Chain A
Amino acid sequence: MADSFTLPLRPLVEKRERPDTLPVEIAQINSQWGSFRDVNEDVLRARIEEEKERDGVLEAEEREKNGAEFDMTERLEQLYKRRAEITQFAMQAHMETMFALDFVSLVLSKHAPRQAETSMSAFLKQVAPLGSLDTEVVSPRPKPETASKDVSAVSRGWRIQNFNAAANKLLNAAARLEGEVASETRYWNETLAVKDKGWKVSRLPRERQALGVQYGFLEATPVFRDRGLASLLRAEDGALLLDRGLVASQARFVRVRVKQNGGVSGGSTLTHPGYNIGESIEGRILQARDAVYEEELFHELVREARLMATYGVTLRQDLIRIPAADDLEIVLDLVDATEATFHSGPESSQHDSLLADGLAHSIRLLLAYAHRQNLRRRTQVPPPLTPKKRTTPEYHLLRPALAYLQHMSSVRWLESFLEDIFGVLRSAGLETSGYNADVFETWKRPHASRSAPVEAVIEQFLTPIESTFTGKLLTPQSSFTITVRTSLSSPPFGTNFDVSFDFSKYPDLKSPGRLGVEDEVQVALTHLLLLDIVSMISSDDLFALTADGKDPKDTRRWEAVYPHLGELLLSSSNPEKHQKMKVTISRQGLSVETYLVRNIDGIGRGAWELRSTHPQAKTWKSPSSTDKQAEQPSLIEFVSAETSAPADER
């Protein structure tokens, strides 16, 4: 606008020569206020005071009047009165206009009767015949010059006043327009900036003249998909306003807390967004998007939690409680952003906070994955239309996370159990090769998937989780395998232990197969190890060891009479001197007891056993137990000592 020129809109005010010269004014003052001689400061002050008082009185009167009129009925009365006045006034005006119309019509009817007749009132037509009134041009008496001068001065004044008013209006309009243009420019620039950042800007479907920005997720549940649209309004100064309608402005977040033994021990921290909330329009859009995502997340969590009532998940108005594993409880709720940060208390632990954070991230990732799945489903050729409505299945958000926790807990239990029982064996001096754990084996396997790499990662998380434990037994060519499998998405639900034995010595020993309870696994494995020890004691190797350097005829060997009960027999030539050994093994320890039995062949049990009262016993505790044990002979030493000791010494 550099080459703009200003067009004067206001009329030029002529500098007329002042007719009211000073002498005239002095004369006027003299006649109005009296002589200047009487004017002094006191008089003037008194006058000012007087005027002030008068104004004050007037104002006070007015105020009183206003106050008094606040009476409701009076106001109404006044209102009706005023309305009646207005109506009366309008009727009066109408009547006068009609009179004027009749009059003009009557005058015109002299010259153009047909035309004039149309605008005449019926009454006039009845009363006065057409063309009964005529006009005549009368040349007026010439006015005196002073009068015409007055008229021209007045009309000139009027004209100038009108010009001024018009100019003011135009200038105001121009100023307003300029402001409007500036704010409109700002609005469109900001809108374009939003569009350039990649947001989808479109017309609103219902208010077609307004612009809206789409920040929601197209694949979300329809309720939340439709909420992902906000109109871009223009503020007074042209700034962009994001109008999200009737949505709470406070952003809310899904908070994950971990409770250990009833006390909150960890919570997810609200990851600080990488934008300034409320600062820029971009920030506000991002905030709105996050809020919609969080609310959808919670909605879906609630939907899934209802399905998971069988796992003990309870649902209150805004709270989901999930008993995960052991004493661990997970609490999910939707809270305001101000509350969302977790303040670590005395009971909090680093591990639980990490767990809560991990859970918070995983449920969000899984929702994003579910959105991708929705897109895939939506773009497939739809099945034929049926009266039955298609429903979207609940997303897998909590189930994979819960499966992970359950699996973790089962694996930890199994690990600790194996650690204990193998510790017992080691403390008994048995050389075990221990066990191998392949935790989360399914996730390490190469996963063949046709979907995008991102989806393939998540898909793996949704498959049943498997961990495998393998171990060798003391008996050669014998082993056991335990596969822990957890799945909450597909049957069999929950955690299952697939236990299989490969024990050549007892081919009739059936693998227990799939077990659901940890105690059963413990029993099965303990029993297997008992058999293993029994078979080891009765094995040829140990026999060879004890028989070392002795006459083979002289040595006797332990026979496993009741291997499943852990009982072995050292038969003697003397029918009263059979020796029996009883092996018991548990998680806490291994104990071996030898005693004499006095029945004929030593095979009888229970009351028929006729056991001696002086048993020889030995116990090996697990190394983790607190009481320190003295150096003990190993199991093999004990057994060989028992074997070689002559029975009749007892």
Chain B
Amino acid sequence: MHELLLFASVPVHQHHELLQQLAGLTAMQPRHCLERRLIFKAYRKPGLVTARTGASQDLQSGDLQRLNKMLNGGMFYTQVVGPISEGDFGSAPIPVPTPDPDIQMAGMDDAKPSVTESPHSHYDYERQPWKLEFRDIPEAGTRSAVTTRVMSSALLPRGDIVPSMNAWGYSFVTEYVVEGDMFIHNDIVIFLHRVLHYPTAEHEYHEPRRQLPVFSEMAPLEKSGSYVLQAAITVQDGSNQETMKTASQHLFGLREQLRSAVRLEQADRLSLDTRAK
């Protein structure tokens, strides 16, 4: 799948006004989103034999070639995204696990994060749903004035994701929180968001946090608190020129409509580089 994007920077004083403008444009109420984003980095497992390609190259079977390509291809950072709610922040940890795992399991269903939860509910790391999001570096040398990149998403099992990710050759790097509002305008997903950092702790976290700090302690990455407006369209088949053209035309249409409010433009390609070196 391909993703076409346009970005704009929104200063904090314009945020409220823009929310209202977008609500009017899309004829829907903003959907507030809070997401935990864990960053994982791919690494080469030690002991992996890199098949030497030499004179025997012709003898390699197709499957082996593909496998080699996969193993020795580019290494990328990927994100694991999990939706959370405001109530999850600063909530008390889950009570100490009782010896009987069944009772514990029964209690966990209630702790499932949902919007309607009371602020005193528990944040249950073990029930946190996750989604793996892979984003390639934006395509280079496109004439079009939109950012285009290959993307893919996959659902992951709930709970502690680090062991599975390690097994797949990814190591945990860091995590942050994204806060924002989402609008849907026909095929375009408009996401007005900003990145929040966890408060600096004494010790480095080498794995995802099992409980979240109080929300007010979260500090925006951009000190002024400004937001990023992201307009995205996903396209099933990136090789279909017709669809890609339609998608970028939709984005340009949105850019025209929002011209008096914000300037949507292409992002710097290298700033969206996800390759691991």
Near A by CB (< 8 A), chain B positions 19-72 give: 27-28, 31
Residue of B whose beta carbon sits closest to that of A218? B27
B162 at the interface (CB under 8 A from A): no
> Taking A378-B184, A379-B184 as contacts, is the C-beta distance between A384 and B236 under 8 angstroms?
yes
Interface of A is mostly: loop
A144 at the interface (CB under 8 A from B): no
Q: Which of A218, A378, A380, A387 contacts B240 (CB 8 A)?
A: A387
B195 at the interface (CB under 8 A from A): no
Give every chain A residue within 8 A of B187 (Cβ-Cβ): 382, 385
Residue of B whose beta carbon sits closest to that of A380? B184
Near B by CB (< 8 A), chain A positions 368-389 give: 375, 378-382, 384-387
Give every chain A residue within 8 A of B27 (Cβ-Cβ): 218
Give every chain B residue within 8 A of A382 (Cβ-Cβ): 184, 186-187, 189
B262 at the interface (CB under 8 A from A): no
> Taking A378-B184, A381-B189 as contacts, is the C-beta distance between A387 and B28 under 8 angstroms?
no
CA A218 to CA B27, docked complex, whole Å = 8
A387 touching B189 by the CB < 8 A rule?
A: no
Q: Which of A380, A381, A384, A387 contacts B1 (CB 8 A)?
A: A384
Most B CB contacts (10 A, CB to CB) among A378, A381, A385, A386 go to: A385
Per-position binary interface string of chain A over residues 375-407, scored 1 when its CB falls under 8 Å from any chain B CB and 0 otherwise? 100111110111100000000000000000000
CA A383 to CA B132, docked complex, whole Å = 17
CA A218 to CA B236, docked complex, whole Å = 28
Give every chain B residue within 8 A of A218 (Cβ-Cβ): 27
CA A384 to CA B232, docked complex, whole Å = 10
Give every chain B residue within 8 A of A384 (Cβ-Cβ): 1, 234-236
Q: How far is the CB of A200 from chain B (nearest CB, A)?
A: 9
Q: Which of B184, B234, B243 contacts A387 (CB 8 A)?
A: B243
> Taking A386-B243, A387-B243 as contacts, is the C-beta distance between A378 and B28 under 8 angstroms?
yes
How many residues of A are in contact with the other chain, CB < 8 A?
A: 11
Near A by CB (< 8 A), chain B positions 200-237 give: 233-237
Per-position binary interface string of chain A over residues 519-541, scored 1 when its CB falls under 8 Å from any chain B CB and 0 otherwise? 00000000000000000000000
B235 touching A385 by the CB < 8 A rule?
A: yes
CA A381 to CA B187, docked complex, whole Å = 8
Per-position binary interface string of chain B over residues 228-260, scored 1 when its CB falls under 8 Å from any chain A CB and 0 otherwise? 000001111100101100110000000000000
B242 touching A387 by the CB < 8 A rule?
A: yes
Q: Which of A375, A380, A381, A386 contacts B236 (CB 8 A)?
A: A386
Residue of A whose beta carbon sits closest to that of B186? A382
Residue of B whose beta carbon sits closest to that of A381? B189
Give every chain A residue within 8 A of B186 (Cβ-Cβ): 382
Interface of B is mostly: mixed
A381 touching B240 by the CB < 8 A rule?
A: no
Give every chain A residue within 8 A of B236 (Cβ-Cβ): 384-386
Q: How far is the CB of A390 from chain B (nearest CB, A)?
A: 9
CA A387 to CA B27, docked complex, whole Å = 25
B240 touching A379 by the CB < 8 A rule?
A: no
Q: How far is the CB of A385 from chain B (nearest CB, A)?
A: 5
CA A384 to CA B189, docked complex, whole Å = 11
A385 touching B233 by the CB < 8 A rule?
A: yes
Q: How far is the CB of A215 from chain B (nearest CB, A)?
A: 15
How many residues of B are in contact with the other chain, CB < 8 A?
A: 19
CA A381 to CA B188, docked complex, whole Å = 9
Per-position binary interface string of chain B over residues 139-169, scored 1 when its CB falls under 8 Å from any chain A CB and 0 otherwise? 0000000000000000000000000000000
Q: How far is the CB of B95 from chain A (nearest CB, A)?
A: 28
CA A375 to CA B242, docked complex, whole Å = 28
Residue of B whose beta carbon sits closest to that of A390? B187
B246 touching A385 by the CB < 8 A rule?
A: yes
Q: How far is the CB of A244 from chain B (nearest CB, A)?
A: 21
Near B by CB (< 8 A), chain A positions 477-515 give: none
Give every chain A residue within 8 A of B235 (Cβ-Cβ): 384-386
CA A375 to CA B26, docked complex, whole Å = 11
A386 touching B184 by the CB < 8 A rule?
A: no
Q: How far is the CB of A227 from chain B (nearest CB, A)?
A: 16
B28 touching A379 by the CB < 8 A rule?
A: yes
Q: How far is the CB of B35 from chain A (nearest CB, A)?
A: 13
Most A CB contacts (10 A, CB to CB) among B1, B182, B234 go to: B234
CA A387 to CA B184, docked complex, whole Å = 20
Residue of B whose beta carbon sits closest to that of A377? B184
Q: Which of A378, A379, A386, A387 contacts B31 (CB 8 A)?
A: A379
CA A381 to CA B242, docked complex, whole Å = 22
Give every chain B residue within 8 A of A385 (Cβ-Cβ): 187, 233-236, 243, 246-247
Give every chain A residue within 8 A of B240 (Cβ-Cβ): 387
B237 touching A386 by the CB < 8 A rule?
A: yes
Near B by CB (< 8 A), chain A positions 383-440 give: 384-387
CA A193 to CA B22, docked complex, whole Å = 26
Q: How far is the CB of B124 from chain A (nearest CB, A)?
A: 21
Near B by CB (< 8 A), chain A positions 4-44 give: none
CA A321 to CA B242, docked complex, whole Å = 43
Give every chain A residue within 8 A of B242 (Cβ-Cβ): 387
Give every chain A residue within 8 A of B234 (Cβ-Cβ): 384-385
Q: How far is the CB of A402 from chain B (nearest CB, A)?
A: 33
Q: How far is the CB of B198 from chain A (nearest CB, A)?
A: 27
Most B CB contacts (10 A, CB to CB) among A375, A382, A384 go to: A384
Residue of A whose beta carbon sits closest to that of B151? A384
Give every chain A residue within 8 A of B184 (Cβ-Cβ): 378-382
Q: How far is the CB of A211 from chain B (nearest CB, A)?
A: 16
Give every chain A residue within 8 A of B182 (Cβ-Cβ): 381
Residue of A whose beta carbon sits closest to that of B3? A384
Give every chain B residue within 8 A of A379 (Cβ-Cβ): 28, 31, 184
CA A384 to CA B152, docked complex, whole Å = 11
Near B by CB (< 8 A), chain A positions 25-75 give: none
CA A382 to CA B186, docked complex, whole Å = 8
CA A386 to CA B182, docked complex, whole Å = 22
CA A386 to CA B246, docked complex, whole Å = 10
Give every chain B residue within 8 A of A381 (Cβ-Cβ): 182, 184, 189
Near B by CB (< 8 A), chain A positions 333-382 give: 375, 378-382
CA A381 to CA B189, docked complex, whole Å = 7
Residue of B whose beta carbon sits closest to that of A385? B235
Q: How far is the CB of A476 from chain B (nearest CB, A)?
A: 43
CA A381 to CA B186, docked complex, whole Å = 9
Q: How far is the CB of A382 from chain B (nearest CB, A)?
A: 5
Residue of A whose beta carbon sits closest to that of B182? A381
Residue of B whose beta carbon sits closest to that of A378? B184
Give every chain B residue within 8 A of A386 (Cβ-Cβ): 235-237, 243
Give every chain B residue within 8 A of A378 (Cβ-Cβ): 28, 184
CA A378 to CA B234, docked complex, whole Å = 16
Give every chain A residue within 8 A of B246 (Cβ-Cβ): 385
CA A378 to CA B186, docked complex, whole Å = 7
CA A393 to CA B187, docked complex, whole Å = 18
CA A375 to CA B189, docked complex, whole Å = 15
CA A387 to CA B242, docked complex, whole Å = 8
CA A380 to CA B184, docked complex, whole Å = 7
Q: How far is the CB of B22 from chain A (nearest CB, A)?
A: 13
CA A385 to CA B186, docked complex, whole Å = 11
Give every chain B residue within 8 A of A380 (Cβ-Cβ): 184
Q: How far is the CB of B229 from chain A (nearest CB, A)?
A: 17
Q: How far is the CB of B27 from chain A (nearest CB, A)?
A: 5
Q: How far is the CB of B26 from chain A (nearest CB, A)?
A: 8
> Other CB < 8 Å A-B pairs besides A379-B31, A384-B234, A385-B247, 15 of them?
A218-B27, A375-B28, A380-B184, A381-B184, A382-B184, A382-B186, A382-B187, A382-B189, A384-B235, A384-B236, A385-B236, A386-B235, A386-B236, A386-B243, A387-B240
Using a CB–CB distance below 8 Å, which chain A residues touch chain B?
Answer: 218, 375, 378-382, 384-387
Closest 9 CB pairs of A and B: A384-B236, A384-B234, A386-B236, A385-B235, A379-B28, A382-B187, A218-B27, A379-B184, A385-B247
Can you give 17 A-B contacts (C-beta < 8 A)?
A218-B27, A375-B28, A378-B28, A378-B184, A380-B184, A381-B182, A381-B184, A381-B189, A382-B186, A384-B235, A385-B233, A385-B236, A385-B246, A387-B237, A387-B240, A387-B242, A387-B243
